[in-house]
Amino acid sequence: MSKLAILGGAPVRTAPFPSWPVRDEREAEAVAEVARSGQWGFFSGTRQFDFASQFAAYQDVKYGFPVMNATCGLEIALKAAGVGAGDEVIVPGFTWVATASCALTIGAVPIFVDIDPGTYCLDPKALEAAITPRTKAVIPVHLYSCMADMDAIMEIANRHGLVVIEDCAHAHGARWRGKGAGSWGHMGVFSFQEGKTMSSGEGGLVVTNDKRYEALVHAYANCGRVREGDDLAEGIIGWNYRMTEWQAAILLAQFSRLEEQTAKRNEAMGYLDKYWEQIDGLAPMRVDVRQTRRGAYVYTFRYDAAKFKGVSRSVFVAAMQREGIPLSAPYTPVYRSPLFVVSPAEFPAAAARCDYAGLRLPVTEHAVTEECLSMRHSLLLSEPKDLADIVTAALKVRENLGELAGKTVEELTA
Ligand SMILES: Cc1ncc(COP(=O)(O)O)c(C=O)c1O
């Protein structure tokens, strides 16, 4: 039995995993072309609309509107949905802050609900239980590499007249029953922030099959301007959330690799999942059979300390990191995040109606604090021998549990 690296032994791995973003001359040349063209923005350029329509079609959606990032994309999708001050928007507790803050910043009230323990995505039963006469919209998040149950969510939303905005920030290339993420709800929003599986540093896209939503998204993103031919009343107060041609040029280059990278990531997830099924105390996510392809912003699997001699997840993660495997912690529940501070002066409707500090969502909290293990998508672009190191490290830690049991990370690393 070899000595754990956290106890001074040799690590399983010292070589780095693939870095991100993957880039080559395609990005460099694309940016140089924009520079030479002098067409740098929304009004003079065409690249962002080429990219938007190509990517929307790839996700099986009719329209795509390019924006600065997904945070503002979610905000204007809610505005396009008719969500206004005091309206309620249902969101999962386990997600990035923007899924909820986009409701706050337009004066609406984010209502957090719990998640499905197998996929970490919004639980349709919790959604239905949270609907009130004030509920206007729901934002299911396709979190990390799983998709929310879009059949159940659409059925519930249609029955209650809710607008569904899919948060697809993690779901590039993901498919539900063969059809792309973002094509199931009334709108969907993608992110191209620097860590995402396609990136231009920052960037976003709002997708929809509905011409009216697309026209409204355009107006809200473009200072309230109503485009010629769009059947909208004038007088919309909007923002300037327009994308630039620099972002679009890089995105077109990144998009050229997405299909191949998604296939490779799916293969890697399948490989790792098979091993976790065989190791008592580790388990893959329960990918719904209707999810026909996974996006993979973050690869997650599940840890059960009770089957690891009570060794806490944080000790397991620290031990894996010392073996050269960069496991990381997941998001905190949004309602516990220091970035989600709901002051009564700034957000009166939400502060008056919700006790976010007193909220408890047991499945979310168990996943976040005890169970969820995560690693960045760039690891999934590794070759099989490198993926094997991840499994070898997990088995090595498991063989040495006696050395870790009862200890904290601080004690082990002092
Ligand atoms: C689930 C989710 N939604 C929304 C966003 C916001 O995306 P952006 O950074 O493009 O504003 C993120 C970004 O990390 C995210 O992870």
Assigned CATH topology for domain 259-333+363-413: Aspartate Aminotransferase, domain 1 (3.90.1150)
The C-alpha atoms of residue 111 and residue 100 are separated, in whole angstroms, by 8
Q: Return the structure tokens found at 246.
A: 């620099």
Distance (angstroms) between ligand 1 centre and the Cα of 251 equals 16
Helices and strands: H and E segment counts in the chain: 14, 13
Q: Return the structure tokens found at 193.
A: 């922030």
Write the DSSP symbol of residue 225. P
Write the DSSP symbol of residue 217. H
Tell me how crowded residue 227 is: count the other CB atoms within 10 A of its CB. 11
Band (pLDDT 50/70/90 cuts) for residue 414 is confident
Distance (angstroms) between ligand 1 centre and the Cα of 259 equals 21
Band (pLDDT 50/70/90 cuts) for residue 262 is very high
The DSSP line for 128-188 is: HHH--TTEEEE--B--TT----HHHHHHHHHHHT-EEEEE-TT-TT-EETTEETTSSSSEE
Residue that is written with structure tokens 């059925």 in the block: 155
The rounded mean pLDDT for the chain is 97
**Residue to mutate, 75, 191, 239, 243, ligand 1, most ligand atoms under 8 Å from C-beta:** 191
The answer, as to whether pTM is greater than 0.95, is yes
- Of ligand 1's listed atoms, the one at least distance from the Cα of 95 is 1
Ligand 1 pocket (Cβ < 6 Å) reads 69-71, 95-96, 98-99, 141, 167, 169-170, 191, 193, 204
Say if CB 408 and CB 319 are below 8 A apart.
no
The C-alpha atoms of residue 116 and residue 276 are separated, in whole angstroms, by 20
pLDDT at 402 over 90: yes
Query: In CATH, which of 3.40.640.10, 3.40.50.170, 3.90.79.10, 3.30.160.150 is domain 25-253?
Result: 3.40.640.10
pLDDT digits (tens, 9 = 90+) for 197-239: 999 999 999 999 999 999 999 999 999 999 999 999 989 999 9
Strand spans (E) along 306-357: none
Please state, for a pLDDT cut of 70, what percent of the chain lies above it.
100
Q: Return the structure tokens found at 299.
A: 């690869």
User: What's the confidence (pLDDT) of residue 329?
Assistant: 81
The C-alpha atoms of residue 217 and residue 73 are separated, in whole angstroms, by 8
Widest CA span of the chain, in angstroms?
73
Band (pLDDT 50/70/90 cuts) for residue 84 is very high
Distance (angstroms) between ligand 1 centre and the Cα of 103 equals 14
Residue that is written with structure tokens 């690869």 in the block: 299
Q: Do 25-253 and 259-333+363-413 come out as alike in CATH topology?
A: no
Domain ranges of the chain: 25-253, 259-333+363-413
For residue 368, the SS3 value is: helix
User: What's the confidence (pLDDT) of residue 110?
Assistant: 98
- Of ligand 1's listed atoms, the one at least distance from the Cα of 143 is 1
Beta bridge partners of residue 284, listed in sequence order: 301
Strand spans (E) along 235-322: 282-284, 291-293, 298-303
Give which of 183, 193, 137, 190 is closest to 160, Cα–Cα.
Answer: 137
Q: Return the structure tokens found at 106.
A: 């337009």
Which helix or strand (DSSP H or E) is residue 269 part of? helix 245-278
User: What's the confidence (pLDDT) of residue 185?
Assistant: 98
- Of ligand 1's listed atoms, the one at least distance from the Cα of 196 is 14
pLDDT digits (tens, 9 = 90+) for 162-187: 999 999 999 999 999 999 999 999 99
The C-alpha atoms of residue 332 and residue 372 are separated, in whole angstroms, by 11
CA distances (Å), origin 91, targets 99, 141, 183, 315: 7, 8, 19, 31
Beta strands 291-293 and 175-176 are antiparallel
- Of ligand 1's listed atoms, the one at least distance from the Cα of 71 is 11
User: What's the confidence (pLDDT) of residue 342?
Assistant: 96
pLDDT digits (tens, 9 = 90+) for 274-319: 999 999 999 999 999 999 999 999 999 999 999 999 999 999 999 9
* H-helix segments, 139-208: 150-160
The C-alpha atoms of residue 182 and residue 338 are separated, in whole angstroms, by 29
pLDDT digits (tens, 9 = 90+) for 118-159: 999 999 999 999 999 999 999 999 999 999 999 999 999 999
